[in-house]
Amino acid sequence: MKQSKKIIISIVFILMGAFSNAQTLKVMTYNIRLDVASDGENDWNHRKDYFTSQIQFYNPDIFGVQEARPNQVVDISTSLLEYNNVGIGRDGIGQGESSNIFYKKERFTVKESNTFWLSETPNKISKGWDAAYNRVCTYALFKDLKTKQLFWVFNTHLDHIGVAARTKGIQLILSKIKELNTKNYPVILMGDLNSEPQEDRMITLKKTMDDCRDVTQEKPFGPYGTFNNFKHNEPVTKLIDYVFISKNSILKVKKYAVLSDSKDLKYPSDHLPVYVEISFK
């Protein structure tokens, strides 16, 4: 009888552990730096193996990339076979940089996905306001195959030159979230926003969504900043990459980190990734 109780208790703990793991979502946003030969020793071909090793080590369930050129998306996809991805280039399918979202294909299914342009004409290839380049936001409605939970993920890269483009881009994304999220599912917004926390657009954004750094249960880990500019010998203090969650939702941030891993005194990108562990209440 005692042995039977022990077996039952063991099974219960195993099931509780499996359920707990299923309820935790590990997400990452990562500006991977476009593939450009002029980067010399920091060229993508010198970085990609360590980049994929880093992803494999932290094992995010979902990660969004920015500045990914088509060949980089292929490299990531062929090295990380456990992931599928959604998204298209800012200059069209298979053209230009993209903000693709990668996800564990055995855990999630995509119910809906699309890409829109941060411009006055978001449904067609276009450059908005005072932006230097075309900019996009890719989104997907995911269903967790274990828990059946549905949630949205939006991934974007705001312009680095146009002030109006950054402000209007955020406004457009929030408007799109409101338009799409008619059933009030949890929302995760991530990306390189090319904006520091004290800027007006970020203060406005925080009225609608929570910065994971601000609401994490555990103390933030790693450097404050995310843009390293490949300068391994200098402190990283410029924070422009973020993960946000919808306010008053069932999402709770357990851990937040900026990852400063390097190899042979070289970073895998000119940005550090933001890693967050989120639970569903």
CATH number for the domain including 228? 3.60.10.10
Q: What is the pLDDT of residues 153-193, one digit of tens each?
A: 999 999 999 999 999 999 999 999 999 999 999 999 999 99
The closest of 189, 196, 164, 194 to 246, measured between CA atoms, is 189
Locate 161 and state its tokens. 């030159």
Q: What integer pLDDT is reported at residue 221 of this predicted model?
A: 99
Rounded CA-CA distance 152/111 in Å is 10
Q: What is the pLDDT of residue 2?
A: 53
Q: How far is CA 64 from each of CA 2, 6, 91, 213, rounded to the nearest angstrom?
A: 50, 43, 18, 17
* Number of structural domains the chain divides into: 1
Q: Tokens 């990380």 correspond to what residue?
A: 80
Q: Is residue 101 included in any domain, yes or no? A: yes
Instruction: Classify residue 16: in a domain, yes or no.
Output: no
Structural domain boundaries, residue 262: 25-280
Q: CA 56, 62, 68 angle in degrees (round to 5)?
A: 80
Decide if 47 is inside a domain: yes
Within a domain: 9: no
Instruction: Check pLDDT > 50 for residue 16.
Output: no
d(CA 242, CA 226): 9
* Measured distance CA(250)–CA(231) in Å, rounded: 39
Is 90 within the bounds of a domain? Answer: yes
Task: Please provide residue 180's backbone torsions phi and psi, each rounded to the nearest 5 degrees.
Answer: -80, -35
Distance in angstroms (rounded) separating the CA atoms of residues 107 and 84: 11
Angle at Cα 190 formed by Cα 174 and Cα 53, nearest 5°?
165
**pLDDT digit string, tens, across residues 93-116:** 889 999 999 999 999 999 999 999
Compute the radius of gyration of the chain from its Cα atoms: 19
What is the reported pLDDT for 11? 42
Q: Quick count: other Cβ atoms within 10 Å of Cβ 133?
A: 17
pLDDT, residue 248, reads: 87
In a domain, 81, yes or no: yes
Partners of 29 in beta bridges? 64, 274
Q: Which two tokens stand for residue 149?
A: 């939970």
pLDDT for the residue 12: 39
Can you give the pLDDT at residue 23? 86
pLDDT digits (tens, 9 = 90+) for 230-281: 999 999 999 999 999 999 889 999 999 999 999 999 999 999 999 999 999 8
The answer to the question of residue 83 being in a domain is yes
Residue-wise pLDDT for 111-162, tens only, equals 999 999 999 999 999 999 999 999 999 999 999 999 999 999 999 999 999 9
Tokens of 223: 């450097």
Q: Is 18 among the domain residues?
A: no
Q: Which two tokens stand for residue 159?
A: 């312009």
CB 64 within 8 A of CB 103: no
